[in-house]
């Protein structure tokens, strides 16, 4: 059986896509099995061969003791028997699923697929995508018959970038297969590295659906908090103080307002609403939540502008600083960062704008979003927006902000980390 052969290193595994998800999985398996780490980006492959994680999530020591060969050469996949596909599933400019990376990866695997091989997809997709979209590509490229010549499974990724506690091995792994035999074998393979336990879903569609509602649930709940913050701001009530009071009840769900970006929470719900529309269902709660969350960046910028105007500032001469531009704290990942919405809205008011982030790559930001990062925070500002609560920012107080504010400066604190701590500026938070 395939699991036994992998454990004995009589069969090889391959990870297709070595980003935030794929590389940690590849290295975890490579401590127990022979692994090919495959990525189409040769520059990234060269970095990983030197024990460097291009995503800056892993350290050099994480590569040690791993039986892995990094490659961008298709020929290195020809003797692989168990493929795990972990490529991004983004949305396009119309918020529609963009399956091009996933289908391209399926073509790559299909070119080297052999009888008896397994293919497991980890990319977040709508229910049905694996069997309806990916399998036909595998069949077409390989000339093999699904279910007869090769098996397919789905095991949703649950990696949380920047989280050093909930690592791959410590998170219960959901697995599924195209039949009972494949599901059992796939469970055994993942059981080699997962210590938290395996949950075997009844079908591939169930596993796909489970993944997509994990992030949809968070998105909807955060949208509720954001909507509450809009209401409470009109009442001159601090939302975080309300949440603290409500949170004293044992069954209160502890979500907070904020910018919802990143590759998962800000994207995955659109895969579900897309499929729902195909079925004639308008997912009102999900789409409403998305609309609220997508609008928060512009709202945040307008909060700062309104307060500056109220304080008598000339917007054409005003200096504004944004602190943080990654999609969440303490990571380098800027994918689908909603701070870009804050930047664009502020630019529409023609203010003099600077953006700082100790973790983001300035080249990536310029290339993806069209604005520069300042290497240091200098001078004085009429408004400072702390958009991301990086560890470098959390401990700051009046000593820091006092040096960088003009008279009647405005501090917009998205995550409420400076509440009741700042006296040198007009303080605003959600």
Q: Which domains does the chain have, with CATH numbers?
A: 2-202 (3.40.50.720), 221-429 (3.40.50.720)
User: For the residues 333-344, what does the mean pLDDT come to?
Assistant: 92
Catalytic residue among 66, 129, 134, 264: 264
CB 226 within 8 A of CB 292: yes
CB of 105 closer than 8 Å to CB of 17:
yes
Q: Select the highest-mean-pLDDT range: 56-65, 259-268, 279-288.
A: 279-288
What does the alpha-carbon distance between residue 84 and residue 430 come to, in Å, rounded to a whole number? 41
63-81 average pLDDT score:
96
| Annotation says 134 is catalytic | no
In this predicted structure, the answer to whether residue 163 has a pLDDT above a threshold of 70 is: no
Mean pLDDT of 338-355: 96
Tokens of residue 182, six digits:
């494949």
Segment 273-301 mean pLDDT: 95
What DSSP string describes 369-414?
HS----SS--S-EEEEEE-S--HHHHT--HHHHHHHEEEEEEEEET
Q: What is the mean pLDDT of residues 224-246?
A: 94
What does the mean pLDDT of the chain come to? Answer: 94
CB 68 within 8 A of CB 27: yes
> What average pLDDT does range 215-225 have in this prediction?
95
Q: For the segment 179-191, what is each residue's pLDDT rounded down to a tens digit?
A: 999 999 999 999 9
Percent of the chain whose pLDDT exceeds 70? 99
102, 96 Cβ separation under 8 angstroms: no
Quote the DSSP letter at residue 320. E
Sign of CA dihedral 141, 146, 148, 150: positive
Q: Give the pLDDT mean for 25-39.
A: 96
Q: Is 179 helix (H, G, I), strand (E, B) or coil?
A: coil
CB 219 within 8 A of CB 266: yes
Min mean pLDDT across 59-73, 256-270, 317-331, 364-378 is at: 256-270
**pLDDT-based confidence at residue 169 (cuts at 50, 70, 90):** confident
Residues of the chain above pLDDT 90, percent: 87
The two most distant CA atoms of the chain are separated, in Å, by 74
Neighbours of 56 (CB within 10 A): 14
- Mean of pLDDT values over 316-343: 93
Averaged pLDDT for residues 354-375 = 94
pLDDT recorded at residue 227: 97
Summarize the confidence of residues 150-168 as an average pLDDT. 82
As given in the structure block, the two tokens for residue 195 are 């210590």
Query: What CA–CA distance (Å, rounded) separates 359 from 356?
Result: 9
State yes or no: pLDDT of 153 exceeds 70: yes
SS3 state at 72: coil
- Cα–Cα distance measured from residue 89 to residue 122, given in angstroms and rounded to the nearest whole number: 10
Among the ranges given (94-108, 211-225, 253-267, 277-291), the one the predictor scored with the smallest mean pLDDT = 253-267
Bridge partners, 410 (sequence order): 383, 426
Number of Cβ within a 10 Å radius of residue 328:
22
DSSP strand E in 237-394: where?
Answer: 319-323, 352-356, 381-386
Dist. CA 59–CA 142, nearest whole Å: 37
Q: Is 355 helix (H, G, I), strand (E, B) or coil?
A: strand
> What pLDDT sits at residue 408?
93
Residue 160 has pLDDT above 80, yes or no: no
């Amino acid at each position: 059986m395939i699991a036994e052969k992998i454990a004995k290193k009589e069969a090889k595994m391959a990870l297709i896509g070595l980003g935030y998800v794929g590389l940690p999985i590849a290295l975890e398996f490579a401590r127990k099995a022979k692994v090919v780490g495959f990525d189409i980006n040769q520059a990234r492959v060269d970095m990983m061969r030197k024990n460097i994680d291009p995503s800056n999530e892993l350290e050099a020591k994480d590569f040690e003791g791993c039986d892995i060969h990094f490659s961008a050469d298709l020929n290195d996949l020809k003797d692989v028997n168990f493929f795990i596909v972990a490529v991004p599933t983004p949305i396009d400019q119309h918020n529609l699923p963009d399956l091009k990376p996933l289908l391209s990866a399926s073509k790559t695997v299909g070119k080297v697929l052999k009888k008896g091989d397994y293919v497991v997809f980890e990319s977040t997709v709508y229910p049905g995508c694996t069997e309806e979209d990916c399998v036909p590509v595998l069949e077409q490229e390989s000339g093999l018959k699904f279910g007869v010549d090769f098996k397919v499974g789905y095991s949703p990724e649950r990696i949380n970038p920047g989280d050093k506690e909930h690592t791959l091995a410590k998170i219960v792994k959901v697995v599924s297969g195209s039949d009972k035999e494949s599901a059992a074998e796939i469970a055994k393979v993942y059981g080699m590295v997962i210590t938290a336990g395996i949950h075997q879903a009844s079908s591939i569609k169930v596993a796909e659906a489970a993944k997509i509602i994990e992030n949809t649930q968070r998105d909807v709940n955060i949208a509720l908090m954001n909507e509450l913050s809009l209401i409470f701001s009109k009442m001159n009530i601090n939302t975080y103080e309300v949440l603290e009071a409500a949170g004293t009840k044992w069954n209160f769900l502890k979500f907070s307002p904020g910018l919802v970006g990143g590759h998962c929470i800000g994207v995955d719900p659109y895969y579900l609403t897309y499929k729902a529309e195909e079925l004639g269902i308008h997912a009102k709660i999900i789409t409403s939540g998305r609309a609220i969350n997508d609008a928060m960046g512009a709202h945040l910028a307008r909060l700062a502008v309104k307060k500056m105007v109220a304080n008598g500032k000339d917007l054409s001469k005003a200096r504004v600083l944004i602190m943080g531009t990654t999609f969440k704290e303490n990571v380098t990942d800027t994918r689908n960062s909603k701070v870009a919405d804050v930047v664009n809205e502020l630019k529409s008011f023609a203010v003099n704008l600077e953006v700082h982030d100790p973790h983001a790559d300035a080249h990536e930001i310029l290339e993806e979003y069209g604005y520069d990062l300042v290497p240091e925070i200098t001078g004085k500002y009429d408004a400072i927006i702390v958009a991301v609560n990086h560890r470098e920012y959390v401990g700051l107080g009046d000593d820091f902000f006092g040096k960088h504010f003009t008279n009647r400066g405005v501090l917009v604190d998205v995550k409420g980390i400076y509440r009741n701590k700042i006296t040198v500026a007009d303080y605003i938070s959600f």
